Structure 1
Amino acid sequence: MRRFFYDPSVQDTEEQILITGPEAHHIRNVLRMQSGDSAELYDGKGAVVSGEIARISSKEVVFQVLSRTDESNSGVPLTLAQAVLKGKKMDLLIQKATELGVHTFLPVITRYCEKPGRAGQQLERWQRIMLEACKQCRRPIPMKICPPTELQELPLSEGGHNIMPWENEANTPFSALELDNGQPVLVLIGPEGGFHSSEVAYAEEVGFRTISLGPRILRAETAALAAVVLAQQAVGNFAAFPAR
């Protein structure tokens, strides 16, 4: 079934939902959907609507509401703070982080990271990738993507778990962490060139706990996805949800 996001402030009644803008263009001119076709609609806040096209015009699509469910409970918030990677690697990571249920994606500027591009254009691209991933994986609440920030300005998870996988950590495996208390988790991952020693010292000073992801040196994007999977499993975010 096709999936689309809609703006509830445009028109969202018990009976009908109005879609305009790029999504309406995509429905009408790209997918060439017609009256009577079904779709799943997301308001971006957890509402999941099963609908059927009632009317299509040149600028808008009206869906008849068939059913509504609330999926606003997305589990324990997990933030992935990732040092900026080269273009396609960052694109892939944003896509996979969305699929894996990351709550917030926070690009970080470090000494050895790729220099971020034009902030506005880059964020727009990442947003498009994220929204397409949401539709593909049936995620009703989009992942929040923040503008790139300096490591020293990175907001910590107050009262939560702040962890940093690091290739030189030999004493603390991920399994030693206790993340099952319902508190938010922040995972900090370095760039392809790794963290500078001063950055590691700073992170530890402000409250990050360095952990090991095993004996092998992982690429930055591999380390990020491995850490996200382990953290999501540990906090219970991979528990089964009712089938739609």
Structure 2
Amino acid sequence: MQRFFVENSLDDQYIITDISWIHQISRVLRARIGDEILLFQENGNERKYTIQSIEKKKIILNAESEITPHNTKQKHTITLYQSIPNKWEKCEYIIQKAVEIGVEKIVFFPSKRSQYKIIPEKKKLRWQEIAREALEQCGGYQPIILEYKDSFESIEIDPNSKNILFHTKDASSSIEIFYKKAQKKYGIWVGPEGGWEESEIDNMNKKGFITVRFGERILRTETVGIVVAFSILYSFAD
């Protein structure tokens, strides 16, 4: 059953007037009168609806069930600090997979070896749509937060977060150390394809970051953050 994220209240009758929604339901999904869909909110509330009518400028839904609440709180939260990769498609992949596994926030920023320094506004709008679609498809409820910074220096470091800096050499610890004792908040810092410059690593270490490695494995920039986030969230899951 198709799920849709909404911000409005889940009333007994729900009217859709957004043109993109109408197109998706009537043209892409080819839904018909009588078909069922699920509407859900950020707070975890969900309700089943039946399509009553499909018109050019609106779709009318009638509730078929009571509102069902779901627990959306996670014991551990992860923010992925991702240096901008050399291809925009990699950002789309990172966003999609981060939503699927339950990452709370992604902060994109250019590091010294990033090919791109500025993210176009049209890309940001596209990525927000990708995040919404991923949330609807994966069964989650909490929309991911997407933030964009123009440099490392402009990022406000959370003092309550355990910040993990990934580096392919000269790392002080192996990633296994973080699976021994759970933290409430994690910050995962991933460099671009060319890696971090030594001055960046020194700066982060001075701020209390812990440099870690993945043994002998070298993971791609679009892979490492997702793998680590998944490992942390599900190693300490109830």
TM over 0.5: same fold? yes
Please give the alpha-carbon distance, in whole angstroms, between the structure 2 residues aligned to 1:49 and 1:169. 52
Q: Which whole-Å deviations, capped at 9, do the CAs of 1:109-137 have from their partners, x for residues lacking one?
A: 10001314543112111111111211221
2:135 is matched with which residue?
A: 134
Please give the alpha-carbon distance, in whole angstroms, between the structure 1 residues aligned to 2:168 and 2:177. 16
Q: Which residue of 20, 24, 27 corresponds with 1:26? A: 24
- Deviation, 1:179, is 4.8
AA partner of residue 54 (structure 1):
Q
AA partner of residue 56 (structure 2):
S
1:180 is matched with which residue?
A: 182
- Deviation, 1:105, is 0.9
2:195 is matched with which residue?
A: 194
Q: 1:55 to 1:116 in 2, by over 3 A?
A: farther
Aligned residues of 1:6 and 1:41 also touching (Cα < 8 A): yes
Q: Which whole-Å deviations, capped at 9, do the CAs of 1:76-109 have from their partners, x for residues lacking one?
A: 2211110001111111111111111111011021
1:74 is matched with which residue?
A: 73
Q: 1:179 to 1:143 in 2, by over 3 A?
A: farther
Q: 1:112-151 alignment to 2 at 5 Å?
A: 112-151=113-152
Instruction: Compute the TM-score of the two structures, normalised by the length of structure 1.
Output: 0.87
Aligned residues of 2:47 and 2:67 also touching (Cα < 8 A): yes
Q: 1:94 to 1:81 in 2, by over 3 A?
A: same
Please give the alpha-carbon distance, in whole angstroms, between the structure 1 residues aligned to 2:209 and 2:83. 15
Unaligned 5+ segments in structure 2 are none
Please give the alpha-carbon distance, in whole angstroms, between the structure 2 residues aligned to 1:130 and 1:165. 25
Aligned residues of 2:117 and 2:150 also touching (Cα < 8 A): no
Compare 206-215 and 56-65 and name the one that shifted more.
56-65
Please give the alpha-carbon distance, in whole angstroms, between the structure 2 residues aligned to 1:80 and 1:199. 17
Please give the alpha-carbon distance, in whole angstroms, between the structure 1 residues aligned to 2:78 and 2:200. 22
Q: 1:48 to 1:12 in 2, by over 3 A?
A: closer
Q: 1:118 to 1:157 in 2, by over 3 A?
A: closer
Q: Which residue of 38, 58, 61 corresponds with 1:60? A: 58
- Deviation, 1:29, is 3.0
Counterpart secondary structure, 1:18: strand
**Runs of 4+, deviation exceeding 3 Å:** 116-119
1:242 is matched with which residue?
A: none
Q: 1:229 to 1:12 in 2, by over 3 A?
A: closer
Counterpart secondary structure, 2:48: strand
- Deviation, 1:25, is 2.7
Aligned residues of 2:72 and 2:141 also touching (Cα < 8 A): no
Unaligned 5+ segments in structure 1 are 240-244
Q: Quick one: percent identity of the two aligned structures? A: 26
Q: Which whole-Å deviations, capped at 9, do the CAs of 1:31-85 have from their partners, x for residues lacking one?
A: 2312211111122342222221123222222222213222352302211110001
Aligned residues of 2:16 and 2:59 also touching (Cα < 8 A): yes
AA partner of residue 185 (structure 1):
Y
Q: Which whole-Å deviations, capped at 9, do the CAs of 1:173-203 have from their partners, x for residues lacking one?
A: 122125524x211111000000000100111
Please give the alpha-carbon distance, in whole angstroms, between the structure 2 residues aligned to 1:111 and 1:228. 24
State the number of aligned residues: 233
Aligned residues of 1:130 and 1:143 also touching (Cα < 8 A): yes
AA partner of residue 180 (structure 1):
A
Please give the alpha-carbon distance, in whole angstroms, between the structure 2 residues aligned to 1:84 and 1:72. 33
Please give the alpha-carbon distance, in whole angstroms, between the structure 2 residues aligned to 1:118 and 1:106. 12
Q: In angstroms, what is the RMSD of aligned CA positions? A: 1.9
Q: Which whole-Å deviations, capped at 9, do the CAs of 1:143-190 have from their partners, x for residues lacking one?
A: 111123411122222312111121114441122125524x21111100
Aligned residues of 1:95 and 1:130 also touching (Cα < 8 A): yes
